[in-house]
Amino acid sequence: MTPPAVRAADRAVVLIAEELSPATVEALGPDFEVRHCDGADRAALLAAIADADAVLVRSATRIDAEALAAAPRLRVVARAGVGLDNIDVRAATMAGVMVVNAPTSNIVSAAELAVALMLAAARHVSPAHAALRDGEWKRARYTGIELYEKTVGVVGLGRIGVLVAQRLAAFGMNVIAYDPYVQAGRAAQVGVRLVDLATLLAESDFMSVHLPKTPETIGLIGAAELAAARPGLVLVNAARGGIVDEAALYDALSNGRIAAAGLDVFATEPNTDSPLLTLENVVATPHLGASTQEAQEKAGLSVARSVVLALAGELVPDAVNVQGGLIAEDVRPGIPLTEKLGRIFTGVAGEVAQQIDVEVRGEITDNDVKVLELAALKGVFTDVIEHAVSYVNAPLLAAERGTAVRLVTEPDSPDHRNLITIRGTLADGSQVSVSGTLMGINQRERLVEVNGYDIDLEPTDHLAFFAYRDRPGMVGTVGQILGAAGVNIAGMQVSRNAKGGEALVALSVDTAIPAEVLADIESAMGAHHARTVDLV
């Protein structure tokens, strides 16, 4: 038996469980220890994944609850492709493991195959080739139809549907589309007229399906829809099996209601004995939509980049179990600041809040800022949870602890170009708040408010906050005790609500303040609130 590999102490382990392009490994860079195993060999996978920080797979490797349980260090599962049927996304989410895929890697390949199937079905390419190979020259029997000036109905106007529409428009086709989640204006931008499904069926000479497989789309094109279709329709499905009812399609093709079909997908795969394969007016391929060299290369490069981001603690736009999605460039600098604010919030509060509002104000709200809610939650729970907190499991942790979370956005920000505030209610009904902003061309992080007190402090690795009754000598007292303890003050802010009223001292220091020193300061000041926050 091969002994387990010895882990390099300073490098994360990336496990490649299936054959990927050399460019994928190169894209990971030199900072990781890259290992390989046969993911289809269950025993080999479970042994190899035990020490992995990330695993890259295609379709043959099953990452389920058992595999996740065997991988205590695992932080990210990367599927070099679009489908996730072989990955238990819910189990990964519960384990705090990010799941990423390559959603755009195969869109050109899939669109081109849909067009290829449409042309092949329209011109009887498959049966004509089979006849010729059998020594038969049957020109008259395989007379086809042109695409030019015909109407094509695109069902599903997502990224692949748009590419198909653009390519078919270049053939001189009139393109219409059905997609209840796309606005008419968006369709018009790509030269497509948006219609309902009934209209599409009635008007289309050709139809191409490009919908995801969901409970709502399974069986969407059934017997009733095929019966309502324009006679002689050529139907293509290169999306997902089950969207078109295969039994109904067989009947419609057999009786001539539907002229021909081009299929790349089936409800059950692999599938070599479908009745549809017995029909001469069907051209079929074994789920080849993503099977091009270019698509495989793009998928590998995409997930390699995602793994690098994930292991660096960055948010990954292609993570499928993280809310938010694509992150605007103007929002990105606010992510680390917001995470720090979350940690400061919990440090100041000293407990988990019952209600948290993540308030975002200013120009930044022109973008989708949902990611800042995630960053805040990650920060809030980082120092109170015994296991790793990630952008994946932070919302689950909040739900488990009964913490209600709300994102509040407001375009107006009177004092700062942009302002991020985390405001929460504790068990006793008291309120805690911290606010931060980014300043100047260099986007310097600044802590600008704590519990209603205005301050201006860099959120460095070590911070301290003391709330007390305003009176002379308190600043000197803090400095004297810290100096005696060998703790150097890097920055200090004093804020008060009124002369002789309540005041706050906020400090950034070069090293952590020991607990006994914090207690000495609290006692000497008569502080009614003393907290340290260490962000290292």
Which CATH number do you get for residue 448? Answer: 3.30.1330.90
Query: Residues 450, 497: one domain?
Result: no
Instruction: Specify the pLDDT at position 4.
Output: 52
Give the pLDDT mean for 237-248: 96
**What's the one-letter identity of residue 198?**
A
**What's the one-letter identity of residue 528?**
H
- Is residue 507 situated within a structural domain? yes
Q: Which domain holds residue 196?
A: 107-284
Taking only the tens place, the pLDDT of each residue in 108-159 is 999 999 999 999 999 999 999 999 999 999 998 999 999 999 999 999 988 8
Q: Which residues of 342-379 are buried (b: 16+ CB within 10 A; e: fewer)?
A: bbbbbbbbeebbeebbbbbbbebbebebbbbbbbbbbb
Judge whether residue 260 has pLDDT over 90.
yes
Taking only the tens place, the pLDDT of each residue in 10-48 is 689 999 999 888 889 899 989 999 999 999 999 999 999
- Is residue 471 situated within a structural domain? yes
Pick the last residue of a domain from 421, 441, 459: 459
- Is residue 2 situated within a structural domain? no
Instruction: Specify the pLDDT at position 323.
Output: 52
| Average pLDDT along the chain | 91
Instruction: Specify the pLDDT at position 322.
Output: 65
Instruction: With cut-offs at 50, 70 and 90, classify the pLDDT of residue 8.
Output: low
Chain centroid offset of residue 369 CA: 14
Closest of 82, 78, 73, 51 to residue 63, by C-alpha: 78
Query: Residues 419, 471: one domain?
Result: no
- Determine which helix (DSSP H) or strand (DSSP E) holds 449, and give its type and residue range: strand 444-450
Judge whether residue 200 has pLDDT over 80.
yes
Judge whether residue 432 has pLDDT over 80.
yes
Count up the domains in the chain and report the number. Answer: 4
Residues in the chain: 536
Judge whether residue 472 has pLDDT over 60.
yes
Pick the last residue of a domain from 432, 459, 486: 459
Instruction: Specify the pLDDT at position 324.
Output: 45
Give the pLDDT mean for 433-447: 93
- Is residue 274 situated within a structural domain? yes
Instruction: With cut-offs at 50, 70 and 90, classify the pLDDT of residue 7.
Output: low
How many CB atoms sit inside 10 A of residue 499's CB? Answer: 7
Query: Residues 116, 252: one domain?
Result: yes
Whose tokens are 């000497």? That residue is: 524
Give the integer Cα–Cα distance in Å for 307 and 14: 9
Query: Residues 268, 124: one domain?
Result: yes
Give the pLDDT mean for 492-517: 93
Instruction: Specify the pLDDT at position 81.
Output: 85
* CATH code for the domain in which residue 244 is found: 3.40.50.720
Query: Residues 523, 424: one domain?
Result: no
- Is residue 65 situated within a structural domain? yes
Query: Residues 116, 205: one domain?
Result: yes
- Is residue 340 situated within a structural domain? yes
* CATH code for the domain in which residue 494 is found: 3.30.70.260
**What's the one-letter identity of residue 106?**
N
Give yes or no for a contact between 249 and 258, defined as CB atoms under 8 angstroms apart.
Answer: yes
How many CB atoms sit inside 10 A of residue 514's CB? Answer: 13
Residue 403 sits at φ, ψ, to 5 deg, of -90, 115
Query: Residues 112, 39: one domain?
Result: no
- Is residue 497 situated within a structural domain? yes
Least confident interval from 164-178, 209-223, 441-455, 478-492: 209-223
Query: Residues 379, 432: one domain?
Result: yes
Taking only the tens place, the pLDDT of each residue in 312-344 is 877 787 787 765 445 677 887 898 899 999 999
Instruction: Specify the pLDDT at position 93.
Output: 81
Long-range contacts of 483-492 (CB under 8 A, 24+ apart): 485/513, 485/514, 485/517, 486/511, 487/511, 487/513, 487/517, 490/458, 490/460, 491/457, 491/458, 491/460
Give the integer Cα–Cα distance in Å for 259 and 231: 8
Give the pLDDT mean for 513-524: 95
Query: Residues 414, 475: one domain?
Result: no
The DSSP-derived string for 75-113 is -EEEESSS--TTB-HHHHHHTT-EEE--TTTTHHHHHHH
Instruction: With cut-offs at 50, 70 and 90, classify the pLDDT of residue 386.
Output: low
| Catalytic positions, written as ranges | 240, 269, 287
Query: Residues 253, 232: one domain?
Result: yes
How many CB atoms sit inside 10 A of residue 311's CB? Answer: 20
- Is residue 81 situated within a structural domain? yes
Query: Residues 159, 274: one domain?
Result: yes
Pick the last residue of a domain from 459, 482, 503: 459
Query: Residues 275, 132: one domain?
Result: yes
Instruction: With cut-offs at 50, 70 and 90, classify the pLDDT of residue 396.
Output: confident
Long-range contacts of 393-401 (CB under 8 A, 24+ apart): 393/93, 393/94, 393/95, 393/96, 395/323, 396/93, 396/94, 398/356, 401/352
Give yes or no for a contact between 311 and 31, defined as CB atoms under 8 angstroms apart.
Answer: no
Percentage of the chain with pLDDT > 90?
71
